[in-house]
Structure 1
Amino acid sequence: MARRINLLAAALVAALAVGCTPTGAPAEADSAAATPAADTPRAVATLAEAFLTPMTPADNIDSPASWQAPDGATWLIATAKATDKLVVYDGSSGKHLRDVGSSGTALGQFDRPNGISVTDDLLWIVERDNHRVQVLSLPDFTPLAVFGAQDLRKPYGLWVDKRADGYSVYVTDSWDNGEDAAGKDILPPLPELDKRVRQYRVTRDGAKLEATLAASIGDTSEAGALRVVESIWGDPANDRLLIAEEDESYASEFKVYTLAGRFTGTTFGRDVFKAQAEGVMLRTCGKDGWWITTEQGKQRSVFHLFDRHTLKPVGAFQGNTVANTDGIWMMQQPTPRFPHGALYAVHDDQGVVAFDWQAIAKQLSLPLECGA
């Protein structure tokens, strides 16, 4: 039975702009079509990062998100797991601007903040060790409220779907049954993996937000089970929810669910990723676009792009420096520094790099202009 949790809030409207690429009609993908043969050679382009933020190893940076401030400046906001705060950079230069938050359980405090997202003027942060989602309002980083603590056990990532009646918030919950003698996490048995993602409905009525636990998601079959999960993103236009499977002893791949939480039977990327599957974002281009995914190599991260509809690989690139990437964020709004947007990616738990989308598109022969 759904629980209701009242939250304080105010929300302004500032939607993310969409970017680019024409092409064919949507096609339902299947595992065979979406995954190339295991012996398929892969070409990985190398691009120079547009900038690298200051390195702060003590912070253990995990995930970034961006927001356009009222004065037009771009803020790049990252979670710092080890120091229980948010680190704010200039999204055009990488310059450090400020830190926000402290350790604790009160509003405005954090305990191992992990996943992060921005929708309108709301900043959503998953706190793994407070096992909750906290909502702040921008630009003042005013803490509004928290939800999910009664349901979540070890949450990591989230995706926020803006709807006409509010927000649908999907939170991954990768709890385990402790560690074995070798220090490896003991995964729950398949029948207990039916709550790997929690879905909340968040509505607003004046100055009040109301959050309702709407669904618990997780297939318990061998093929569809979500063993080790963190990154998640959705595509409402195609009723898709992509969830990274990070259990390398099983497979590094993405599993495709519907927004209602049903496993579609489709997985992809198993024979593409040579390291752990991690961050995922959707770069829209009219009705088309690309899924941007991360292969978390310890020495060098590789970013794989897949067609929005067919889920077939369309290209891959790496940077000169960026490695061991956790979260990524695709900024589609044009800025003076990045006229076609930018991809932000965490570098080795220490900072964030930026890639100019125009450079990515040119290198991978992707069109910059999109149809409606």
Structure 2
Amino acid sequence: LYKLSPDELISHNEDPEDPGGYFIINGTEKVIVKIEDLASNRMMVEEASSGASKYVGKLFSEYGSYKIPHSLERLRDGIFYLSFTRVRRVPIVAVIKALGMLKDEEIMRFVGSDRQLDEMIVNLLDAAELKNEEEAVDFVAKKAGITQSKEIRMERTREILDKYLLPHLGIDSKARMAKAYNLCKLLRRCILAFREEIVPDDKDHYMNKRLKLSGDLLADLFRVNLKVLTGDLLYNFQRIVKRGKFPSLKVVIREKLMTQRIYSSMATGTWVGGRKGISQRIQRLNYLETMSHLQRVVSPLSATQENFEARELHATHLGRLCPIETPEGTNIGLKKNLSLLASVSAETNQEEMLKVLKGYGLRPVVKQ
């Protein structure tokens, strides 16, 4: 049906005015709705709802299947603590030193290049006894509760720092200095927030949101199910080899496993990560309702919680989201619709963007 003229579409018993954007599964027309999510790989400082720290710096680092939350907080002792994955409340300067940025002067320069931030003195004194990278890595390992022999402890901690600390910057040892520099940037923002020099970030500002379209959601579904398939393949292979037989490919690979799982998710709307209602039956009462359903944007927040600020109309919704069309009841403000003329920008190639910026005079701060 692609690129056919209206007359040719009519000859194929198709409506030439049909907008498309849906699929048919088990004889039912279904549409994958857009999911509104907080922008990943972006540091946001917000007021803490509980705990000792007045402000908390939060960041979701996303790389492939990894999506790791990081938080930065200042406790009553004046020390800034970083938490990510299983690593809980490790002094951030110790982590920076474990990544290879050892000189206090260098850390000070990256955190406050234009002036001295007094809050840093307490943090640098706290980590003053860590003279080299090895001592810093061992300190982080002990704080993270890794209790094996020193060699294994060091190796595991380095692996955690490479794979799970800011994975969007890289998951090998080459990215360590870039990670240290970025942690200094995050620390600077938190210090300025505590000094009341910058206002906390607005989570509901649309600059801090991203829309997951059908392509992103299907990529998540495919990635998780491919992992299930490879795990199943490995299990079947080992089971047959243990019996002393040589396995054939037909026995090792369950051919319909991945297809059935993806098919089931698309038919029922139950997605990876425990999300429900991603794939919905398209509304066909009239043309406008069909268009409205194709433009639907759903928030992942729970309908049973208040979340007043998330439900309110924000000034940045103008021209992007319809200010009127939202259901009454518990879903008010959580289910929204794109404006009719709104368009979602596609992801840009990072290398091309960097080339353009370097042409304008961008220089790397950290030598890769």
Q: TM-score, normalised by structure 2?
A: 0.24
Please identify which structure carries the higher helix content: 2
Please identify which structure carries the higher strand content: 1
Q: TM-score, normalised by structure 1?
A: 0.24
